[in-house]
Amino acid sequence: MIIRENINLSDLTTMRLGGPADFLIEIESPEECPDAFDFAQEKNLPIYFLGLGANSIGLDEGFRGAIIKNAIKGYNILEETKDELIIKVGGGEVWDDFVEFVSKKGFSGVEAMSKIPGTVAAAPVQNIGAYGQEVKDTLVSVEAFDSLLNEFVEIPAEEMDFSYRHSIFNSGETKGRYFILTCTFRLKKENPKPPFYNSLQSYLDEHKITDYTPENIRIAVSNIRAEKLPDPEKIPSAGSFFKNIYLTEKEVKPAEEKGVPIRKAEKTDKNGKKYTEYKVNTGWLLENADLKGKVFHGFKVSDKAALILINESATSEKDLELAKKEISDKVEEKFGLKLEQEPVFVKEIKQEVDEE
């Protein structure tokens, strides 16, 4: 366990904003958890979990607490047959290294999520997804440290209440409670099947790729992303800054009247009930509110992928607030829809926990 003091959040997060955090505790093995959490509890420090900082934004005042950073490494193949791979991965592994490892072995299920920045442990927190795949589809379970009861637990994926960018780890009374140590995935030895997500299919057609191996899909997705999305290691950003929007049935008509394209899909919820999903691409809203390429208080709405906000010159999170407000107001004025931020702020996580 490595404990450091007074570490700038701007050095720990890819948006490159934020003042100092009082403590940074790096955890390299699950056994270090009890000591790390004792340390924070004795000092009465709020805690914040961090991976590679690709979806977290530091505040100017920093963080009067302890950042617990996941540095747990390792791949543990639990079962490998000709059809299937069950693999347990250390939460501190880089997500894309894991995707590369299994795709190269010919196992499918995560290849469309190539090049998503961040750690393996962060993946289930917001149920990361891209090009038609989501973590929820292949995750079996996680091992975690329960910071409320100070004990190790194993949580099956069925209990994670997954939906779009949502899980028990980032919402409700369990928000911020579990520090994810390892993630176990079940992947299939098969080629992913078309039809693929539009932009992926266009790329495959254009490049005459018809051999849909996980590795070829991984290469295609990597190339698409490299063209459109800035590498957060080089250009400060936090991936998609705005979420896509899911409308309720009664919100559909007013949006359509304003010319917003809505993608309708028939879905089944976790209780087996059918419902219609109404999705609005926020990228379309930003583009059609003429915001692409525009700069607000040092933040640029990417001209390649409008959901990405690039930190060109800002050093204060206050400027991000101003930029966010101006951008959101423009979209709301034109289309009557409110934008929601995707990355989270580094601050005390408030849980609403029932007494046991």
Interface residues toward ligand EPU, by CB under 6 A: 130-131, 198-199, 239-240, 243-244, 281, 283-284, 287, 292, 305-307, 342
Q: Calculate Rg over the CA atoms of the chain.
A: 21
- Can you list the alpha helix ranges (DSSP code H) found in 153-273? 198-206, 214-228, 249-257
Catalytic: which of 26, 32, 215, 342?
A: 342
Name the minimum Å distance from CB 31 to ligand EPU: 32
Q: What angle do CA 223, 94, 185 make, to 5 degrees?
A: 95
Structural tokens at position 25: 């505790």
Give the containing element (helix H, strand E) for 139: strand 139-146
Can you give the length of the chain in residues?
Answer: 356
Q: Assign 3-class secondary structure to 32-76.
A: HHHHHHHHHHHCCCCEEEECCCCCEECCCCCEEEEEEEECCCCEE
**CB of residue 225 to ligand EPU, shortest distance in Å:** 7
| 165 is a catalytic site residue | yes
Closest distance of CB 252 from ligand EPU, Å: 17
Minimum distance, C-beta of residue 128 to ligand EPU, in the bound complex (Å): 7
Using an 8 Å Cβ cutoff, are 55 and 122 in contact? Answer: yes
Contacts of range 333-339, beta carbons closer than 8 Å, 24 or more positions apart: 334/258, 334/285, 334/288, 334/289, 335/255, 335/258, 335/259, 335/260, 335/285, 335/288, 335/289, 336/254, 336/255, 336/258, 337/245, 337/255, 337/260, 337/280, 337/285, 339/242, 339/243, 339/245, 339/282, 339/285
Q: Is 240 a catalytic residue?
A: yes
Single-letter code of the amino acid located at 302: S
Considering the complex, state which of residue 191 and residue 201 has its C-beta at the smaller distance from ligand EPU. Answer: 201
Distance separating alpha carbons of residues 22 and 322, to the nearest angstrom: 27
Task: Closer to ligand EPU by CB, 8 or 281: give it.
Answer: 281
* Given 56, 240, 302, 328, the catalytic residue: 240
Nearer to ligand EPU, 181 or 224 (CB): 224
Query: Do 49 and 90 contact (CB within 8 A), yes or no?
Result: no
Q: Is 222 a catalytic residue?
A: no
Cα 338 to Cα 323: distance, rounded to the nearest angstrom: 15
Q: 10 vs 114, which CB is nearer to ligand EPU?
A: 114
Can you spell out the DSSP letters for 95-119?
Answer: HHHHHHHHHHTT-BSSGGGTT--SB
- Residue of 16, 165, 177, 186 marked catalytic: 165
From the CB of 243, what's the least distance to ligand EPU, in Å? 5
State the nearest-atom distance from the C-beta of 305 to ligand EPU, in Å: 5
Least CB distance to ligand EPU at residue 347 (A): 20
Give just the sign of the alpha carbon dihedral 111, 80, 164, 125: negative
Residue with Cβ nearer ligand EPU (152 or 197)? 197
Judged by beta carbon, residue 119 or residue 240, the one nearer ligand EPU is 240
Residue nearest to ligand EPU (CB): 283
40 vs 3, 10, 35, 67, CA distance in Å? 11, 22, 9, 9
Residue (189 or 292) nearer to ligand EPU, CB: 292
Query: What is the phi/psi pair of residue 318, to 5°?
Result: -60, -40
What are the residue numbers of the active site?
A: 165, 240, 342
